[in-house]
Amino acid sequence: MSDDDDDFMQESDNEEYEFEYEDDDEEEGGDVGIENKYYNAKQMKADNPEEAIDEFLGIPAMEPEKGDWGFKGLKQAIKLEFKLERYDKAVEHYRELLTYVKSAVTRNYSEKSINNMLDFIEKGSDNEKAYHCMEKFYSLTLESFQSTNNERLWLKTNIKLARLWLDRRQYTELVKKVRDLHKACQREDGTDDPSKGTYALEVYALEIQMYADTRNNKRLKALYNRALKVRSAVPHPKIMGIIRECGGKMHMSEENWKDAQIDFNESFRNYDEAGSPQRIQVLKYLVLTAMLMKSEINPFDSQETKQYKTDHRVSAMTDLVDAYQRDDIQRYESILQNNKDVLADPFIAENIDEVTRNMRTKGVLKLIAPYTRFNLAFVAKQLKISVAEVQDIVGFLIVDNKLQAKIDQEKGTVEFESNEDGGRTQSMQQWVSAIDSLWRTVLDEGEGFKGDDTPMLGGTGMFSGSQSTRSDGMGMAGLRGGVNGTGKSTRGFKKGYRGPGSFIK
């Protein structure tokens, strides 16, 4: 927040104002002199920050008692000192600034100003010395506002300190701080305090991020479910964006693509509402999830995401989705090769392997479909991937019974196993079984075979092809007479019968 915003907030606070009378010339003149010095110093900030610091630090001495102008002068001086990396001086003057909080300025204004100061310091901390300076700022703030019983600022400052430790991966300190914050957001009986629901959600968000970073999914899931059950809070959308993003990553690790998609969609919507730049990264996660789900719906077709379809920051992911849905493996591989920044995010790099493997598997199947024998190097060249990758995919397809083939590793070839002879044998067996069934039906139910003195035939019958289609018109229709045990025809047969199962001419 800018300095002018701080000034505006001071004017907008619910303070009591008194009329100033014209006979108060001496006091008015003093205030005008202080005010002129303050604004002259502000004009010097950009071109001569060192002199501006001296001017700002001279303001407190001009006030007979600690007041607004001295507070504002110190605040401006501290920001400049921090920018110029004069960290020790910044801490010294911040300690002096906190003495104004108890009586010189209103509680509301001091709380907003200190909170904005800490935000400013947090954004400007990009080296180790700055981090140590920021920790000192937090410690001094906690000491000051704990003694003044300002629980709200105490909670905010502790949350900022916990966020600092999260960024620096100081998990030991973070665990202790989070435990204290959870207690502060509870009643005496240990139940959640509804009046502190917003702070409780911020603490949950910090803890969830910690467990997401350390891949402790068991604790992450428990906290995630508890956070979603908090109903007494009106959280900042960025906080819900963080919780939903971590939930999406948790579901992805469990290969629960559907719930991951729901969480990433909610996270994107919240980040978008908050104006957070993290919405772009989460949008990429949403696109990745759509491909893992093998969804035919383009994630950029929704009202919320449509406006980002042409955004250069997500254009690579847009192209990947298009290539994926068209099964264009060459274009898909080309996009990954030409956009290395896509894989810069460890989460995307970790999960896009599954998408790439799906694409390459479909590409291999499509390419080898017309062949009975192929060379691994040929497929690798066509798909622009390594021979080892092709062999791995083919091996997986064989194990999964999607290919009936054998790999010759020495020659680097793959040959499909022919099922033609096996199919012919199977068809012959079915044909024999059908003929045998028909023969038994004729013998058991035919009228010519029901004589009292006719013995039953044993064994399995078999017709030759020429016997089943006789040219003399007899065929199966001629089987009307009985057959005695000596093999002579009794009725309906013109040719001899040589035992069960065969006819001869």
Dump pLDDT digits (tens) for 401-438: 888 888 888 888 998 886 544 445 455 566 657 666 76
460 falls in which pLDDT band (50, 70, 90)? very low
Instruction: Map tokens 């968000």 to a residue.
Output: 205
Over the Cα atoms of the chain, what is R_g?
42
Question: CATH code for 1-168?
Answer: 1.25.40
Q: Identify which of 345, 284, 276 has the alpha carbon closest to the alpha carbon of residue 311.
A: 284
Both tokens of 38, joined, read 């303050």
Instruction: Map tokens 């007899």 to a residue.
Output: 474
More confident residue, 468 or 175: 175
Say if residue 207's pLDDT is above 50. yes
Predicted pLDDT of residue 285: 94
Task: Give the integer Cα–Cα distance in Å for 127 and 97.
Answer: 24
Q: What percent of the chain has pLDDT over 90?
A: 24
Task: Give the integer Cα–Cα distance in Å for 379 and 395.
Answer: 14
Kindly give the residue spans of alpha helices, DSSP state H, lying in 45-196. Answer: 49-62, 68-83, 87-98, 107-124, 128-147, 151-167, 171-184
Q: CA 353 → CA 343, 377, 392, 399, distances in Å? A: 10, 22, 14, 20
Both tokens of 134, joined, read 């920021």
Q: Which helix (H) or strand (E) holds 354?
A: helix 346-368
* pLDDT tens digits, one per residue of 12-38: 343 333 333 333 333 344 477 888 889
Cβ-based neighbours of 406, under 8 Å, separated by 6 or more: 398, 414, 415, 417
Task: Give the integer Cα–Cα distance in Å for 198 and 185.
Answer: 9
Least confident of 13-22, 165-174, 241-250: 13-22
Say if residue 469's pLDDT is above 50. no
Cβ-based neighbours of 372, under 8 Å, separated by 6 or more: 415, 416, 418
For all residues of the chain together, what is the average pLDDT? Answer: 78
Do 317 and 287 contact (CB within 8 A), yes or no? yes
With 0.75 as the threshold, say if the pTM is over it: no
For the chain, the helix, strand and coil percentages under 3-state DSSP, each to the nearest 5: 65, 5, 30
3-state secondary structure of 86: coil
Q: What percent of the chain has pLDDT over 70?
A: 76
235 falls in which pLDDT band (50, 70, 90)? confident
Say if residue 40's pLDDT is above 50. yes
What mean pLDDT is predicted for residues 256-272?
94
**Among positive and negative, which fits the CA dihedral 263, 264, 268, 271?**
positive
- Paired sense of beta strands 405-408 and 413-416, if any: antiparallel
Task: Give the integer Cα–Cα distance in Å for 28 and 8.
Answer: 21
More confident residue, 147 or 55: 55
Least confident of 103-107, 249-253, 388-392: 103-107
- Which residues lie across from 503 on neighbouring strands? 497
Instruction: Map tokens 């590793």 to a residue.
Output: 409
More confident residue, 147 or 343: 343
Angle at 309 between CA 305 and CA 314, to 5 degrees: 100
